[in-house]
């Protein structure tokens, strides 16, 4: 049997029509298949590969850690240098109240941990999320997802979840002394890159302060420079009580985290003991890779290049008939009239060696979220291909 046949037979599928490229290698902004055809990657593993595929510093860190040790014991029992050093690096680049890191295996697990932490700290049960939000596919995270199409088949889900319209100040009155946490994305990625008003985000922060509600910001897609600042919450002049990270956090390896003040996080250590536990969360190999990637991001000042590259995309794309291009740094959504039109462009781009995709809640929008290391020449090539596919 061919690799494709074995893939379809033995790998559990998530859709009836996977992209199906048989990958043999990847480097920088490029992926190659078994025929050695190259693809310029405009997805970056869904905002995972912010420093590109197989950055030499990341590969070096993985090799060095693999020579030392891999898993030794469940999370939190041993002092493992990669965890300690990465947590220290992260908190050095975060506001003072975000000083304690709980590493998980994924972004969805970080969401689950934050939900438990908010309930434990506040002794409340209600959690508020927002329409057209995406926070993961585990049952707790799915309960927060702001679209009934994705939730309905898996009911009953968690009780006590209220969904509000995003960026609507009139709805903030639903946040009360009964609310444990409000969880949201600072930019709604899967809705097709929808950013809220600064005034709404600041009003939301104040409402949480007034009611003793924890504000949880999901930066799993937007963190690590994707929007043009290291953290997207910096655009709004606010600081969350709990920050969620994933995707780019691991530098290409599986890793998530929820981050809060130590006084909050410490509540998970008693009543009950081991209030949150994971076997592989914060795996030393993933922490070593993620720390190396973050150091590359900072030392090479990649975040400072994001807005220039974003503007180059905008200037190069031939957007006729007022076609919308929404963007938050190098997270962009090019809108079409229908999914069918968008899918035809995506397929045409793939045939010409440019990999892109659509959004869960905006299937009529084409996703542009390349590695932050993408070069100007690669951007021009990508835009030439997209322009050809659109016309």
Q: Bridge partners of 216?
A: 183, 242
Q: Bridge partners of 256?
A: 104
What is the domain-level CATH number for residue 8? 3.90.1150.10
What pLDDT is attached to residue 366?
97
Range of the domain at 318: 3-55+303-390
What pLDDT is attached to residue 188?
98
Spatial contact of 219 and 208, defined as CB atoms under 8 Å apart: no
pTM of the model: 0.96
How far apart are alpha carbons 236 and 54 in whole angstroms? 33
286 and 152 housed in the same domain: yes
269 and 338 housed in the same domain: no
213 and 285 housed in the same domain: yes
257 and 220 housed in the same domain: yes
280 and 323 housed in the same domain: no
Counting runs of H as helices and runs of E as strands, what totals does the chain give?
A: 13, 15
Q: Bridge partners of 188?
A: 194
140 and 234 housed in the same domain: yes
How far apart are alpha carbons 151 and 60 in whole angstroms? 41
How far apart are alpha carbons 157 and 160 in whole angstroms? 10
What pLDDT is attached to residue 157?
94
115 and 34 housed in the same domain: no
Q: Which of 299, 327, 361 is the last residue of a domain?
A: 299
Spatial contact of 29 and 375, defined as CB atoms under 8 Å apart: yes
42-65 burial string, b = 16+ CB within 10 Å, else e?
bbbbebbbbbbbebebbbebbeeb
What pLDDT is attached to residue 310?
98
What pLDDT is attached to residue 135?
96
What pLDDT is attached to residue 9?
79
Measured in residues, the chain has a length of 391
Alpha carbon 153 to its chain centroid, in Å, reads 24
State the burial class of residue 96 (Cβ atoms within 10 Å of its Cβ: 0-12, 13-18, 19+): exposed
Token pair recorded at residue 348: 């045409």
What pLDDT is attached to residue 203?
98
153 and 45 housed in the same domain: no
How far apart are alpha carbons 215 and 196 in whole angstroms? 15
How far apart are alpha carbons 7 and 9 in whole angstroms? 5
What total of structural domains would you count in the chain? Answer: 2
100 and 18 housed in the same domain: no
224 and 76 housed in the same domain: yes
What pLDDT is attached to residue 321?
77
The residues, ordered by sequence, that sit 6+ positions from 199 with a Cβ below 8 Å of its Cβ are: 169
Residue 272: cis peptide before it, omega within 30 degrees of 0: yes
CB atoms within 10 A of CB 387: 14
270 and 310 housed in the same domain: no
161 and 290 housed in the same domain: yes
What pLDDT is attached to residue 362?
96
pLDDT tens, N- to C-terminus, the chain (391 residues): 898 888 887 888 888 888 888 999 999 999 999 999 999 999 999 999 999 999 999 999 999 999 999 999 999 899 999 999 999 999 999 999 999 999 999 999 999 999 999 999 999 999 999 999 999 999 999 999 999 988 999 999 999 999 999 999 999 999 999 999 999 999 999 999 999 999 999 999 999 999 999 999 999 999 999 999 999 999 999 999 999 999 999 999 999 999 999 999 999 999 899 989 999 999 999 999 999 999 999 999 999 999 999 999 999 999 877 789 999 999 999 999 999 999 999 999 999 999 999 999 999 999 999 999 999 999 999 999 999 999 8
Q: Which of 270, 299, 328 is the last residue of a domain?
A: 299
Taking alpha carbons only, the member of 141, 121, 284 closest to residue 220 is: 141
Q: Which of 258, 273, 299 is the last residue of a domain?
A: 299
What is the domain-level CATH number for residue 294? 3.40.640.10
What pLDDT is attached to residue 126?
98
């Amino acid at each position: 049997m061919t690799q494709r046949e074995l893939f379809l037979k033995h790998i559990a599928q998530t859709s009836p029509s996977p992209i199906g490229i048989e990958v043999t290698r990847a480097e920088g902004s490029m992926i190659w298949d078994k025929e050695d055809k190259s693809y310029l990657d405009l997805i970056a593993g869904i905002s995972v590969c912010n420093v590109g595929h197989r950055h030499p510093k990341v590969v070096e860190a993985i090799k060095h850690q693999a020579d030392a040790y891999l898993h030794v014991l469940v999370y939190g029992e041993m002092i493992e240098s990669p965890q300690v050093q990465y947590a220290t690096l992260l908190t050095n680049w975060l506001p003072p109240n975000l000083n304690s890191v709980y590493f998980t295996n994924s972004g969805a697990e970080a969401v689950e941990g934050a939900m438990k932490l908010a309930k434990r700290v506040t002794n409340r049960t209600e959690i508020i999320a927002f329409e057209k939000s995406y926070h993961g596919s585990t049952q707790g995270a799915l309960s927060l997802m702001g679209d009934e199409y994705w939730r309905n088949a898996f009911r009953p889900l968690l009780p006590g979840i209220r969904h509000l319209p995003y960026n609507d100040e009139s709805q903030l009155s639903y946040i009360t002394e009964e609310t444990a946490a409000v969880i949201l994305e600072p930019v709604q990625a899967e809705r097709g890159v929808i950013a809220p008003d600064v005034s709404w985000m600041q009003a939301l922060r104040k409402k949480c302060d007034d009611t003793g509600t924890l504000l949880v910001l999901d930066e799993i897609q937007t963190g690590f420079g994707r929007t043009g600042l290291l953290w997207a919450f910096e655009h709004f002049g606010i600081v969350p009580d709990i920050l969620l990270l994933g995707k780019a956090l691991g530098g290409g390896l599986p890793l998530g985290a929820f981050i809060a003040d130590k006084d909050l996080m410490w509540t998970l250590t008693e009543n009950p003991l081991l209030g949150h536990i994971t076997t592989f969360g914060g795996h030393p190999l993933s922490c070593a890779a993620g720390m190396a990637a973050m150091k590359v991001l900072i030392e090479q000042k990649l975040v400072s290049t994001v807005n220039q590259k974003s503007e180059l995309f905008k200037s190069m794309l031939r957007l006729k008939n007022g076609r919308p291009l929404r963007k938050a740094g190098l997270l962009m959504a090019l809108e079409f009239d229908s999914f069918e039109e968008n899918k035809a462009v995506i397929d045409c781009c793939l045939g010409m060696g440019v990999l892109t995709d659509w959004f869960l809640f905006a299937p009529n929008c084409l996703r542009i979220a390349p590695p932050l290391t993408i070069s100007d020449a690669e951007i021009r090539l990508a835009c030439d291909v997209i322009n050809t596919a659109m016309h």
